[in-house]
Structure 1
Amino acid sequence: MAAVIINIKNAVVSYREDVALRGVSLEIRVGEMIGVIGPNGAGKTTLLTLINGLGHLLQGEVWVLGHDVSRGCLAALRSRIGYVPQLPAIDPRMPVTVREVVMMGRYGRLGFFRRPGPKDWQRVDDLLQRVGMEHLAGRPIGHLSGGEQQRVAIARALAQEPEILLLDEPTASLDRKGEQQILTLIQRIHKERQLTTLMVTHSLAGLDALCDRLVLMKGGRIWQTGTPAALLTEKVLELLF
């Protein structure tokens, strides 16, 4: 059996006056593909934030890649966790190219005071080719469609050469075709790079083929975990949503 790479025990997380996670416990093993689903306000994004070392932990323990997150270990985790946030609105006038955006992902590994060298730029170019965006490398990031921006965001996260990949609503605002293309890309990258992947999503299409396990969240708690076959049923989903 694969080793545990993320171990959360009775975690309580708050933002100001609001408790976002309430006694959450979860073990994730190396190489798993986990889908996290639930209604708005369930704590899904907060769960990713906690794993990424940025949650305000009031109670409990969180161990990620052998590090106790509660003791502050951002430097140790920065290059080992790739994070793809929900896509923000990008000003089309922003003078940053696709290639430069992906290079931003290298700084977690390089450090902010080191300049990227030829090998780093080659790494960026290889990733752009891998996600099918090499032909748009010189285009301003704000000129891309939503699906194209999502591909760039995934490449930027992979530029860190992570062991864990966290994705927050990677198919939000995409049409059905774009959604399927992104999910296929995520699945291929997960397998090729032997990553441990957690994906928050509202879209249930394709999760049965994509995920090893689902985490269902509700009211800041983990409500159920199990295989897609066991949980993607009409009865369970009616109770969840």
Structure 2
Amino acid sequence: MVIVSGVRYAYPGRQALGGLTLTFERGVHTVVTGTNGSGKSTLLALAAGVLRPQSGSVLLTTSSRPAFVIQHTRIPETLPSTVRQAVEMGRWPHRPWLLPLGPRDRRIARDAMERLGISDLADRQLTGLSGGQRQRALIAQGLAQEADILILDEPTAGLDTAAHQLIRVAVDEELQRGVTIIESSHSPEDIERAERVVTLEGGRVISDTGSMSRPAISATLTP
């Protein structure tokens, strides 16, 4: 569970969130939507612990750190990392005393790559990938963390149908595992799939609705 209580956050010259209070229940898929600048990314970064509230509080009722997947467009073009290395970074929090990754960690990373259909890209540099491939690598890194909370910032924005479908399958699988999913999106298809939709405007909640059904989907993993 993630409990956001009276949170305010502002950037120079602009308020992002104004006294926001929300609770994200365990195992529920919530999509946060709204226009650009409404506070979606700031809320997700606060829930992930990347930002600290300037007032109010964010409480996580889990001992594991949330897995936070940013948009592929925010990865530096000069980042010297292969797909395998990027995905294996998701296992770093599980290393005792910062020891090298063990066989189990590497297996979990391989499984995450297989789920996102990027096993054949394991030795490619992130900078040489298409946007959809890079996004799948970042989501595979998030899956490899095996966290109780998975936070996704516009995970399917600008992606083709095949990549979109693979990501939706992975999200469904995590929900079946009992993971809490918090996702920002403008996509009508993604919004319709959510159990709960929170709409922000000007850093405040203007709508908070639940969905009675969330159909399962399937896909064939293809290179």
Q: Check whether TM > 0.5.
A: yes
Q: Distance in 2 between matches of 1:86 and 1:45?
A: 10
- Give the alignment of 1:12-31 within 5 angstroms: 12-31=8-27
**Contact kept? 2:132, 2:159, Cα under 8 Å:** yes
- TM-score by length of structure 1 reads 0.79
**Contact kept? 2:136, 2:163, Cα under 8 Å:** no
Q: Deviations over 1:122-161 (max 9, x none)?
A: 2211221222222221222222222221111111112221
Q: Deviations over 1:196-218 (max 9, x none)?
A: 0011011112422x211000000
- Give the alignment of 1:88-127 within 5 angstroms: 88=73, 95-110=80-95, 113-127=98-112
Deviates more, 1:174-183 or 1:26-35: 174-183
Q: Deviations over 1:159-212 (max 9, x none)?
A: 221000000010112134433442233223332x2210011011112422x211
Percentage identity across paired residues of the two chains: 35
**Contact kept? 1:41, 1:219, Cα under 8 Å:** yes
Verify: 1:9 aligned to 2:5, yes or no: yes
Q: Distance in 1 between matches of 2:75 and 2:49?
A: 26
Q: Distance in 1 between matches of 2:87 and 2:124?
A: 12
User: Aligned residue for 1:237?
Assistant: none
Q: Which ranges of structure 1 fall in alignment gaps of 5 or more residues?
A: 67-75, 230-241
Equivalent residue for 1:34, pick from 30, 34, 42? 30
Q: CA deviation at 1:117?
A: 2.0
Q: Distance in 2 between matches of 1:132 and 1:13?
A: 38
**Which amino acid in the other structure matches residue 198 of structure 2?**
V
- TM-score by length of structure 2 reads 0.85
Q: Distance in 2 between matches of 1:11 and 1:195?
A: 24
- Give the alignment of 1:1-241 within 5 angstroms: 5-65=1-61, 79-88=64-73, 95-110=80-95, 113-191=98-176, 193-208=177-192, 210-228=193-211
Alignment size in residue pairs: 212
**Which amino acid in the other structure matches residue 46 of structure 1?**
T
Over aligned residues, Cα RMSD in angstroms? 2.2
Q: Distance in 2 between matches of 1:134 and 1:187?
A: 20
Q: Distance in 1 between matches of 2:33 and 2:146?
A: 26
Q: CA deviation at 1:228?
A: 4.5
